[in-house]
């Protein structure tokens, strides 16, 4: 029996074929996709394009959707079928794009956007850490609220962990872009 085949954009193929790229969000794939593209894309159009591609891969059973509907914490995981599928790489001109006059200008713009996103994530991380610390202080002051405060504390810690992951991913892409 021959392997099933599916057409896929060259950049998306390169990203999702990476063995370390698993359990990802739409945002993580979009960031990697935008960082890899040699052409600029309208961010909203690129997001729609990436989301459509993810949805198509989920529908074909190549990616598994993890998380609750309408949640910002939805993650995608490669299925067994993913590894048994032959990917037919399409040229990058198949995706909606607008050409850039020079690659260094795009790289500079991408680096600025990534640095800004990094700063935002770092501020969010500090906020989340402060929130979890405050829940601990409140628990010490009001032990009778343990159940409620403990669940809020755990949510804040989980959020901190996600933000750390985002920061790590952004720093990784930034270091690659600066080379």
The 10s digit of each residue's pLDDT in 64-120 is: 988 877 666 788 899 888 888 888 887 654 444 444 344 455 667 888 888 888 999
What number of H helices and E strands is found in the chain?
Answer: 6, 4
Position 133 scores a pLDDT of: 92
Q: Confidence class of residue 40 from pLDDT cuts 50, 70 and 90?
A: low
Q: Are 84 and 128 within one domain? A: no
Among 71, 94, 117, the domain-final residue is 94
Domain that holds residue 10: 5-94
Q: Confidence class of residue 25 from pLDDT cuts 50, 70 and 90?
A: confident
Does 38 have pLDDT greater than 60? no
Q: Are 63 and 129 within one domain? A: no
Does 39 have pLDDT greater than 70? no
CATH number reported for the structural domain that contains residue 37 in this entry: 1.10.10.10
User: Is the Cβ–Cβ distance between 35 and 173 less than 8 Å?
Assistant: yes
Among 94, 121, 147, the domain-final residue is 94
d(CA 28, CA 18): 13
Among 48, 71, 94, the domain-final residue is 94
d(CA 83, CA 60): 13
d(CA 36, CA 120): 22
Q: Are 82 and 9 within one domain? A: yes
Task: Please indicate whether residue 21 or residue 131 has the higher confidence score (pLDDT).
Answer: 131
């Amino acid at each position: 029996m021959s392997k099933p085949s599916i057409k896929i954009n060259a950049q998306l193929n390169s990203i999702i074929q990476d063995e370390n790229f698993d359990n990802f969000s739409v945002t993580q794939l979009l960031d990697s996709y935008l960082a890899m593209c040699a052409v600029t894309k309208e961010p909203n159009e690129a997001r729609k394009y990436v989301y459509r591609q993810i949805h198509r891969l989920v529908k074909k059973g190549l990616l598994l959707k993890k998380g609750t509907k309408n949640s910002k914490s939805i993650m995608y995981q490669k299925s067994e079928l993913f590894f048994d599928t032959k990917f037919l790489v399409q040229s990058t001109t198949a995706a909606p794009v607008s050409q850039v006059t020079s690659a260094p200008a795009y790289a500079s713009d991408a680096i600025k956007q990534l640095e800004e996103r990094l700063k935002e994530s770092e501020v969010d991380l500090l906020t989340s850490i402060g929130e979890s610390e405050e829940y601990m202080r409140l628990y010490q002051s009001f032990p009778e609220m343990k159940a409620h405060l403990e669940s809020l504390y755990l949510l804040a810690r989980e959020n901190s962990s996600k933000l750390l992951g985002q920061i790590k991913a952004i720093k990784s892409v930034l270091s690659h872009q600066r080379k």
